[in-house]
Amino acid sequence: MQQVQVVLGVGGGIAAYKSPDLVRKFIARGRDVTVVLTDAGSKFVTTHTLSAVSGNQVRNDLWDEQAERAMGHIELARWANLLVIAPGTADLLARLAHGHANDLLSTVYLATEAPVVIAPAMNQAMWRHKANQRNIGRLREDGVEFVGPEFGDQACGDVGPGRMSEPESIVEFCESLLDQSQCMKGLNVVVTAGPTREALDPVRFVSNYSSGRQGFAVARAAKQAGANVTLISGPVALDAAPGIDRIDVQTASEMKNAVLSVISTCDVFFSVAAVADYRPVSRKTQKIKKHLECSGKLVLELEETDDILTCVNEMSDRPFVVGFAAETQKTIEYGREKLQRKSLDAIVINDVSDSTIGFESTENEVTILSPQGRCTLHKQSKDKIAQQIVTNIASLRTCQPSSKANPS
């Protein structure tokens, strides 16, 4: 088995004195550790100490001529199976959240496709500040995991949240993440996301409020779990994670065709997109003029769009199919009915009438129904929901029964 390779980024906080112990505890778990020491971090701990405990050369210079002949910062980013940043100071979090690449650690962060864990460490007032919390929220949306901080006495004399978690806690958290992180290794996963748009005329369309956040989070989580991911997205203002193959579409018909073009090699299909159920029977080639054509009312004739889930389910050698349902009432009842009617392997349902977990929210709360039972994932960020969905589906897929029973 290949040894897990950990890049440890050390920021410039007093908690950096814990870094050598953190390195030792990773090595005790059989991990290979390379340290990236920031300029500020070097004020608290030396390269000699970190090199001695890790057994590897400490990297601390983006402009290292010898290393950069081979694009060393990119190689280091590719080398990592896990990027851990401890301590993560307020300044470092701000630079990472805004995509800065002005030192070796921030460049490795941008270039790696490995899971990222940050252990924050700062004054309690800095931790609570709205600007810092905005940066943390942005990093969470980007898929970063956080461990800590802890509540307690601080070097400045304050008491409150901001202490870096102890090395043992950080390692335990990372080991748990690594245990789950490759649950879809080598699988081909297709994810649909966002809304579709059905044109009325050249300037108007029928659509819905889907932001695409949950679908993009599922794609990102599947990629982090080792899958080869194709993301088929309706029109949204989101960027896909590095390494994901993205296909952009507009209409339900385009989304269906895109799905069918890749589904033959698919192992798991996540149908997260909020596909328009209806489209206009006819599309006007010119803009509809209110004062000329409508007479105070506009009557639309609509027809059903193709059902992508049904198309996939009718395949002779179909993948494991996971449906998603956004409901406004009788959430479990309607979800169970859809699971059975469409013969899905699992369905993820949520109540979009709750604005705190609705289409535009950064958080969600869902229930997964399957023939094996029911699992509720309580309110948290959509990234964390996505990671748990992926882990749950990977487990369901491995224990899928030969015949389907009614979910409890």
Task: State the pLDDT confidence band at 2, using cuts at 50, 70 and 90.
Answer: low
The answer on pLDDT for 72 being more than 80 is no
| Nearest-angstrom CA–CA distance, 96 and 295 | 55
Beta strand pairing call for 346-351 and 363-370: antiparallel
Please write the tens of the pLDDT for every residue from 17-46. Answer: 999 999 999 999 889 999 999 999 999 999
Task: State the pLDDT confidence band at 295, using cuts at 50, 70 and 90.
Answer: low
Options 156, 174, 266, 375, the catalytic residue: 156
Residues 6+ apart with CB under 8 A from 65: none
Q: Which residue did the predictor score with more confidence, 296 or 99?
A: 99
| Nearest-angstrom CA–CA distance, 237 and 264 | 29
Element (H, E) at 15: none
Structure tokens belonging to residue 139: 């990093």
* Residue among 371, 376, 374 nearest 397 (CA): 371
Find residue 159's DSSP bridge partners.
153
Task: State the pLDDT confidence band at 404, using cuts at 50, 70 and 90.
Answer: very low
By residue count, the chain amounts to 408
The answer on pLDDT for 174 being more than 80 is yes
Which residue carries 């009438």 as its tokens?
Answer: 353
The answer on pLDDT for 180 being more than 70 is no
Q: What is the mean pLDDT of residues 305-324?
A: 90
Contact yes or no for 352/338 (Cβ under 8 A): no
Q: What is the mean pLDDT of residues 298-319?
A: 87
Q: What is the mean pLDDT of residues 249-260?
A: 94
| Nearest-angstrom CA–CA distance, 172 and 167 | 9
Q: What pLDDT, on a 0 to 100 scale, did the predictor assign at position 159? A: 78
Q: What is the mean pLDDT of residues 41-56?
A: 92
Q: Lowest-confidence range among 128-142, 194-208, 348-362?
A: 348-362
Q: What pLDDT, on a 0 to 100 scale, did the predictor assign at position 215? A: 93
Contact yes or no for 64/72 (Cβ under 8 A): yes
Q: Which residue did the predictor score with more confidence, 170 or 285?
A: 170
Q: What pLDDT, on a 0 to 100 scale, did the predictor assign at position 293? A: 60
| Nearest-angstrom CA–CA distance, 327 and 352 | 6
| Nearest-angstrom CA–CA distance, 367 and 138 | 25
Q: What is the mean pLDDT of residues 176-200?
A: 86
| DSSP state letters, 317-370 | T--EEEEEEEESSSHHHHHHHHHHHTT-SEEEEEETTSGGGSTT-SEEEEEEEE
Is cis: bond before 195, omega within 30 of 0?
no
Q: Which residue did the predictor score with more confidence, 55 or 277?
A: 55
Task: State the pLDDT confidence band at 181, using cuts at 50, 70 and 90.
Answer: low
Q: What is the mean pLDDT of residues 321-328?
A: 88
| Nearest-angstrom CA–CA distance, 181 and 201 | 46
User: What is the model's pTM?
Assistant: 0.61
Q: Which residue did the predictor score with more confidence, 137 or 152?
A: 137
Q: Lowest-confidence range among 150-154, 166-170, 182-186?
A: 150-154
- Residue 294 is a catalytic residue: no
* Residue among 272, 273, 276, 274 nearest 368 (CA): 272
Q: Which residue did the predictor score with more confidence, 406 or 369?
A: 369
The rounded percent of the chain whose pLDDT value lies above 90 is 43
Task: State the pLDDT confidence band at 83, using cuts at 50, 70 and 90.
Answer: very high
Q: Which residue did the predictor score with more confidence, 406 or 262?
A: 262
Q: How far apart are the first and last CA of the chain?
A: 39
The answer on pLDDT for 86 being more than 60 is yes
| Nearest-angstrom CA–CA distance, 34 and 278 | 54
DSSP-assigned letter for residue 195: B
Contact yes or no for 10/37 (Cβ under 8 A): yes
Q: Lowest-confidence range among 175-184, 253-262, 345-354?
A: 175-184
Q: What pLDDT, on a 0 to 100 scale, did the predictor assign at position 407? A: 42
Question: What does the mean pLDDT of the chain come to?
Answer: 86
Largest CA distance in the chain: 82
| DSSP state letters, 50-95 | HHHHHSSPPB--TT-HHHHTTTHHHHHHHH-SEEEEEEE-HHHHHH
Task: State the pLDDT confidence band at 65, using cuts at 50, 70 and 90.
Answer: low
* Residue among 192, 244, 247 nearest 215 (CA): 192
* Residue among 204, 197, 165 nearest 86 (CA): 165
Q: What pLDDT, on a 0 to 100 scale, did the predictor assign at position 276? A: 86
Q: Which residue did the predictor score with more confidence, 288 or 40?
A: 40
**Torsion sign over Cα 137, 139, 141, 147:** negative
The answer on pLDDT for 292 being more than 80 is no
Contact yes or no for 8/117 (Cβ under 8 A): no
| Nearest-angstrom CA–CA distance, 294 and 384 | 47
Best-predicted range by mean pLDDT (136-150, 188-202, 375-389) = 188-202
| Nearest-angstrom CA–CA distance, 393 and 187 | 12
